Structure 1
Amino acid sequence: MIETIRAAFVIARRDFTAIIFSKSFFFFLLGPLFPIGIAVAAGGLGAQVSQDIDSPVIGVAMSAAESDRLLAAHAHLSGSLGTRALPELFVLDDFSGREDDIIATLHSEKSLTAIVTGSLAAPVLTGSERDVQRWQGKIALLAETALAQPAPVEIRTTFVEQTSSSSERNQLLTAQAGQAILILLTMILAGMVLSNLVEEKTNKIIEILAAAIPMDAIFLGKLFAMLGMALVGITVWSTMGLSVALLVGGNWAALPSPAVGWPLFCLLLILYFSMAYLLLGSLFLGIGAMATTVREVQTLSMPVTMGQLLVFFLAYSSITKLGEPVEWFAVLFPFSSPFAMIARAAQMDNIWQHGLALVWQAVFTIIIIRFSVMLFRRNVMKSGQAARKNGLLARITGK
């Protein structure tokens, strides 16, 4: 094991140095400029998920008669404005209306965005500043309709630090952003592993290396060399992005905070990117090892990209379904696990699950590397009849 690790380190250092100091690495660093434009154009992808996330519910704590009039006004306006234009109303029975009770209810009831108290003539809307400013106009419209008077109704507002509903929405936005960053970086960087061995196979260098070093070490070294190159690129892009953001300025405090906090979330983002890269990279390295020409690598690029998108869609569709079977499947399926777990980091504050997930993903990475090495030894590193087979499928299946 120690000799394999040492040999893998030699291969990783050799490949990493050759990539970093090559002329093409500069153009590689310019690569994300093109996907950024595509990502901006595809910004409407999360519209449906955003609708599921943003389902505001306003609690009504008024007298029974005024609550009924407000509900009737809501039903009347919903017919002309549409149900999505108005927040849902929920009547709170046996509610005292005291300020401490309002704050306690907002923090305990995750479904409530804000609470309206007082009377129809003088309503009081209590909630987070963002939610109150967003919905006070609609509540005033409902009160005016319920009173059937042309005079505007003045809404008094009371702000609380943050409600459970607004906190949940903010964490979901952070989960979406984390998954988008992971899939964008993985799609840009992991596919490069496909062509990693083609040149060395063509020049017979791989046979020389295989005669002196175990194939496990060669695969492991090349995989970690590509991961190191990817992390260098990410460091450069992050530095450039932060520099532009600092020059432009902005309200950093307004960024939605993940459940585990920003320092740990950023660390988990790096770790889960590394695991996503190693999982896909080990698979791509095994497939690429079967290819003998650049044309075969180009043929594989499209289905590989589609496979990455399907994995991302699986994890993305489970953001709003924590604890449901589809979300558990996304967590346990190795290739979607990093994306599903970064979403959990944004929404759940327990830390131990991330340790288990990282170990689970690392075990599957080792299994895939061993399987890829077995295929390579069986179908490539032997002469005779297998060496004369030209089809990629034949080399993979050994038939």
Structure 2
Amino acid sequence: MIETIRAAFVIARRDFAAIIFSKSFFFFLLGPLFPLGIGIAAGGLGSQVSRDIDNPVIGIALSPAETEMLLAARTRLSGSLGSQSLPDMVVLEDFSGEEADILAKLDSEKSLNAILSGSLAKPVLTGSKRDVDKWRGKITLLVETASSQLAEVEIETRLVGQTGSSSERGQLLTAQAGQAILILLTMILAGMVLSNLVEEKTNKIIEILAAAIPMDAIFLGKLFAMLGMALVGIAVWSTVGFSIALLVGGNWAALPSPAVGWPLFGLLMILYFSMAYLLLGSLFLGIGAMATTVREVQTLSMPVTMGQLLVFFLAYSSITKLGDPAEWLAVLFPFSSPFAMIARAAQMDNIWQHGLALVWQGIFTMIIIRFSVMLFRRNVMKSGQAARKKSLLARVTGK
């Protein structure tokens, strides 16, 4: 094992230095400018998730009689205005309606956007500024309809910094952004593993290396060398992006904070990108072991690319379904696990699950590498079990 690690380090250092100090690496750093337009267009994919995120729910803390009048008014108005234009309402039973209780309820109940308390004569709407400004007019219309008043009702408002619902929306947006960044970087960078291996197969370099170094070490070294190159590129792009953002300026405090906090979320972004890259890169190594020409590479890699998009859609569609079977499938399936887990990091503050996920992804990466090595030995080096049987048969038959 130690010799394999040493040999892998030698291969990784050789490939990393050859890539970083090549003239083409500069043009590689300019690569993200081209898919930038694609990334902006892909923002439309979040429309369904946005509808799930912004599903308004108003808590009602009125007397039972006034609550019935308000719900009846909503039923009447939904016939003319449409139910989608009015917020959903939840009756808060056995609720005092005191200001302290309202604030505690909004902080603990993530499903609530605001709470209507007081009375129909003197209603009080409590919530974040965004939610109060958005729904104050509709709530006023509902109160006026319920109380059968022609005069406009003045709704008193109490603003809170952030409700549980607004915090949840921010975390979901962070989860969306994290997944989009991971899939974009993985799709841009992982394919270079495939082209690197096929190029060395064509030049017979890989066969020379295989004569002196175990194939496991060669594959590990190449995989980690390409990962190092990818991380260098990401560091350069991030530095340029942050520099531009600082020059332009902006309200950094308005960025929705993930559940685990920004420092740990940034570290998990790096770790989950690395695991997604290693998983896909190890799969591309197996494809490179079977391909002999660039045309075969393109043919074999196309299903993997399409499968990668399907995996991303699986993880993306489960952002708003934490704990559901579909979300657990995305977490447990190795290729979608990094994307699903970064969404969990944005919405759940428990950290131990990320250690388990990283270990599971690492184990599956090693399994794929072993399988890729087996394919390479059988198809290229002709040293697998099938090749040995064929050689033995030839010696016996004399052919």
> Normalising TM by the smaller chain, what interval?
over 0.9
Letter in 2 for 1:327: E
How far has the Cα of 1:338 moved from its partner? 0.6
How far has the Cα of 1:68 moved from its partner? 2.2
Moved more, 228-237 or 318-327: 318-327
Separation in structure 1 between the aligned mates of residue 188 and residue 83 of structure 2, nearest angstrom: 41
TM-score, length-scaled by structure 2 = 0.92
Contact 1:319 1:327 in 2 (8 A): yes
Identity of counterpart residues, as a percentage? 84
Separation in structure 2 between the aligned mates of residue 75 and residue 236 of structure 1, nearest angstrom: 56
Corresponding residue for residue 346 of structure 1: 346
From the superposition, tell whether residues 256 and 24 of structure 1 become closer, same or farther in structure 2 (CA, over 3 Å). same
Corresponding residue for residue 48 of structure 1: 48
Corresponding residue for residue 256 of structure 2: 256
Query: Which deviations, in whole Å up to 9, do the C-alpha atoms of 1:304-329 show, x marking residues without a partner?
Result: 21111011111112111211222111
Query: Which deviations, in whole Å up to 9, do the C-alpha atoms of 1:257-305 show, x marking residues without a partner?
Result: 1110010000000000000000110011111122111111222332221
Moved more, 59-68 or 364-373: 59-68
Coordinate RMSD, CA, aligned: 1.8
Corresponding residue for residue 397 of structure 1: none
Moved more, 300-309 or 262-271: 300-309
**Residue 133 (structure 1) aligned with residue 133 (structure 2):** yes
Contact 2:29 2:233 in 1 (8 A): yes
* Secondary structure at the counterpart of residue 5 of structure 1: helix
* Secondary structure at the counterpart of residue 292 of structure 1: coil
How far has the Cα of 1:253 moved from its partner? 0.9
Contact 1:196 1:285 in 2 (8 A): no
**Residue 6 (structure 1) aligned with residue 6 (structure 2):** yes
* Secondary structure at the counterpart of residue 89 of structure 1: strand
From the superposition, tell whether residues 147 and 383 of structure 1 become closer, same or farther in structure 2 (CA, over 3 Å). closer
Corresponding residue for residue 276 of structure 1: 276
Separation in structure 1 between the aligned mates of residue 138 and residue 236 of structure 2, nearest angstrom: 46
Corresponding residue for residue 172 of structure 1: 172
Corresponding residue for residue 73 of structure 2: 73
How far has the Cα of 1:149 moved from its partner? 4.0
How far has the Cα of 1:373 moved from its partner? 0.4
Moved more, 61-70 or 285-294: 61-70
* Secondary structure at the counterpart of residue 124 of structure 2: strand
Corresponding residue for residue 366 of structure 2: 366
TM-score, length-scaled by structure 1 = 0.92
How many residues are paired up? 386
Corresponding residue for residue 33 of structure 1: 33
Corresponding residue for residue 21 of structure 2: 21
How far has the Cα of 1:55 moved from its partner? 1.4
- Map of 1:144-159 to 2, 5 A cutoff? 144-159=144-159
Contact 2:194 2:288 in 1 (8 A): yes
Corresponding residue for residue 228 of structure 2: 228
Separation in structure 2 between the aligned mates of residue 303 and residue 148 of structure 1, nearest angstrom: 63
Listed as ranges, the gaps of 5+ residues in structure 1 are 388-399
Corresponding residue for residue 201 of structure 2: 201
Query: Which deviations, in whole Å up to 9, do the C-alpha atoms of 1:227-270 show, x marking residues without a partner?
Result: 01110111111111111111111111111111100100000000
How far has the Cα of 1:334 moved from its partner? 0.8
How far has the Cα of 1:98 moved from its partner? 0.8
